[in-house]
Structure 1
Amino acid sequence: MIRAKAKDAKFIGTSIGGAKILVKDAVTGNILAEGMTAGSTGNTDKIMKQDWKRSEDLSEDDTAGFNASLDIDKPTFVTIEAYAPVNKKQAEVMSSTQLWVIPGKDITRDGVVLEVPGFVVDILSPQTHERINSTDKIELKANVVMMCGCPITKDGIWDANQYEVKAIVTNSDGDSKEVVLDQKDKPSTFQADLNLEKGLYEVMIYAYDPVSGNTGLDKTNFIVN
C-alpha cells in the first residue's frame, strides 16, 4: 500500500485527481508497478485534530492509496515516487523514498506514506493574455487549496489568517510591485484590486505558510491597453 499525504493536511485522492505512483527497481530503473491513488482524503478529525499514537493508522478502509503488486522472486531495493497532484501541473511535485521489499511480505495498513509539501495555486483573474483597459480596476484573484484539495478559510482548520498570499506584478521593464490578497467571501479564494498604466505585465501569485513552510505559486501574463 502506497499513499500520498499533503503536508499539514490530508491524503491525496480521487477528489483532486490523485497522485501518480511509480515503483522502480532502484538499481535498473525498471518500473515494477505504477498506478494512481484513489479514494477519500481521510478522516479529518483523526488526521488533523487528534493526537497520534505509535502504530496507530491514520487511514481508514476508504482512504486514498495505491495497492501495488510486485512480481519479484528475491528481495529487491525499490524507489517509490509520487507525483501529486497529477492534474495540477503548476503545483505538481515529486516525493520519493526507497526501501527493501521482500517476496511474500506484504506492506499494508497505512503502508508507505509519502509527504507532499505545498499549496495548489490557480490564478483566476486576470486571464492569460487578457486585455484590460487602463481606466479599469484590475482584479487579482486566485484559488488556493492544500495539496489534497482541502479548503482554506479564515479561522478554519486551514486558516487563511495564517497564510501569506501575495501577487508580484512585473512590467516589461522589470519593475515590480507586491499586492496582498485577502480571503473574503468565498472559501479558498483570495483577491485584491489595483490600477496599472498601459503595458505588458507578468503576475505571479504565491502562498506561504510560515508555520509549516508550505509554498505554492502560479503565474500568467496580461496586457493593459
Structure 2
Amino acid sequence: MKGFDFYRFFFVLILCSISIQGFAQETNIMIRAKAKDAKFIGSSIGGAKILVKDAVTGAILDEGMTIGSTGDTEKIMKKDWKRSESLSDEKTAGFLAKIDIEKPTFVTVEALGPYNKKQSSVLSSTQLWVIPGKDITGDGIVLEIPGFVVDILSPQTHERIKGSEEIDLTANVVMMCGCPVTENGIWDASQYEVKAIITSNDGSSTEVELEPAEKPSTFHAETSLEKGLYEILIYAYDPETGNTGVDKTNIIIN
C-alpha cells in the first residue's frame, strides 16, 4: 500500500510539472528577403541570412539562409498587386523558420543580405507576436532590402599604375537580388547615376562619371592621375527609388 501511495504521489508531481511548464508547439514562419524595386534574394546570389530571436531575451530561436529562385518577374515587376495576392510561389526564395514556443512570444526577425556580398549587405528587421501552433506561411514575413550591389572590377586593389597610363574605371552594378542592370531593361542602366570619387592622399578629390558599357550591369570610364596614393570609391544611385550602393579600392600611381 505504501508503494502504491509513493507511485501515485510521483505521478501527481509529474502532472503538476507538465501543467506548469506547458506544452511547446512547433510553429512555422516563412521569411523572405526582397530587394527594393526588384525581386527576392535567393540562391543565385548566395541568399540572405535569417535570424529569429526572442525580442526580450535575445535568444536565437532559429536561423538559416533563404534559398530558391528570385521569383516570377512578370508577377513581381510588371503586374499590379492586389490585396492578399501572393507574390511568391513554391520555388521563390525563403527560409522556413521552425520555433518551439509554449506561449505567445514577441520575436525579432532579421535578414542580412545579400549575405555573400559583404560590402553591399544590408540588415533589415521587424518584430511581431508569434502564437504557438499558428503558422505564418505563403509570402510570410517579407523584409525589404534596399540598395545596389557594386563591385569594382578595375582598377584592382593596390594596383600599381604608371602615371603616363590611362586608368580604367569599371564597375559591376546589379540589384540586391542579383538582377541585371541594362539599358532600356526592367532595371534601366540609363536611369542610374554611377560615379567614381577619387581621393588623393592629401584629401583632395575629383569625380568621374561612369557610362553603361555594352556588357550588362557594367559601367566604365577612363581617367588619368598624377603620382601618389589614391582611394577610389564608386557609387550607384537611383534618384527614383533612393537605392544606393558603394565599393572602394586603393591604388598607387608611380
TM-score category of the 2 structures, normalised to the smaller one: over 0.9
Post-superposition offset of 1:184: 1.6
Equivalent residue, structure 2, for 1:49: 78
Equivalent residue, structure 1, for 2:14: none
Equivalent residue, structure 2, for 1:17: 46
Equivalent residue, structure 2, for 1:121: 150
Identical aligned residues as a percent: 75
Aligned mate of 2:108, from 56, 67, 79: 79
Measure, in 1, the Cα distance between the counterparts of 2:33 and 2:237.
Answer: 21
Name the count of aligned residue pairs. Answer: 225
Normalised to the residue count of structure 1, the TM-score between the two structures is 0.99
CA deviation digits over 1:188-208, x for unaligned, max 9?
Answer: 010100011111000000000
Q: What is the DSSP-based 3-state SS (H/G/I as helix, E as strand, rest coil) of the residue aligned with 2:44?
A: helix
Structure with more helix by fraction:
2
Q: What is the DSSP-based 3-state SS (H/G/I as helix, E as strand, rest coil) of the residue aligned with 2:138?
A: coil
Residues 1:27 and 2:56 aligned together: yes
Equivalent residue, structure 2, for 1:148: 177
**Residue identity matched to 1:72:** I
Q: What is the DSSP-based 3-state SS (H/G/I as helix, E as strand, rest coil) of the residue aligned with 1:173?
A: coil
CA deviation digits over 1:107-157, x for unaligned, max 9?
Answer: 000000000000000000110000001111000010000000000001000
Measure, in 2, the Cα distance between the counterparts of 1:150 and 1:34.
Answer: 25
**Residue identity matched to 1:154:** E
Question: Structure 2: 5+ residue runs without aligned partners?
Answer: 1-29
Measure, in 2, the Cα distance between the counterparts of 1:151 and 1:27.
Answer: 40
Equivalent residue, structure 2, for 1:170: 199
Measure, in 1, the Cα distance between the counterparts of 2:111 and 2:64.
Answer: 10
CA deviation digits over 1:3-47, x for unaligned, max 9?
Answer: 000000000000000000000000000000000000000000000
Aligned mate of 1:159, from 177, 185, 188: 188
Aligned mate of 2:210, from 175, 181, 184: 181
Equivalent residue, structure 2, for 1:223: 252
Question: Structure 1: 5+ residue runs without aligned partners?
Answer: none
Residues 1:6 and 2:35 aligned together: yes
Equivalent residue, structure 2, for 1:204: 233
Residues 1:58 and 2:87 aligned together: yes
Measure, in 2, the Cα distance between the counterparts of 1:181 and 1:150.
Answer: 20
Measure, in 1, the Cα distance between the counterparts of 2:146 and 2:225.
Answer: 34
Deviant stretches of 4+, over 4 Å: none
Equivalent residue, structure 1, for 2:117: 88
Measure, in 1, the Cα distance between the counterparts of 2:78 and 2:136.
Answer: 26
Q: What is the DSSP-based 3-state SS (H/G/I as helix, E as strand, rest coil) of the residue aligned with 1:38?
A: coil
Measure, in 1, the Cα distance between the counterparts of 2:213 and 2:66.
Answer: 33
**Residue identity matched to 1:44:** T
After superposition, the CA RMSD in angstroms is 0.4
**Residue identity matched to 1:87:** N
CA deviation digits over 1:72-120, x for unaligned, max 9?
Answer: 0110000000000100000001000000000110100000000000000
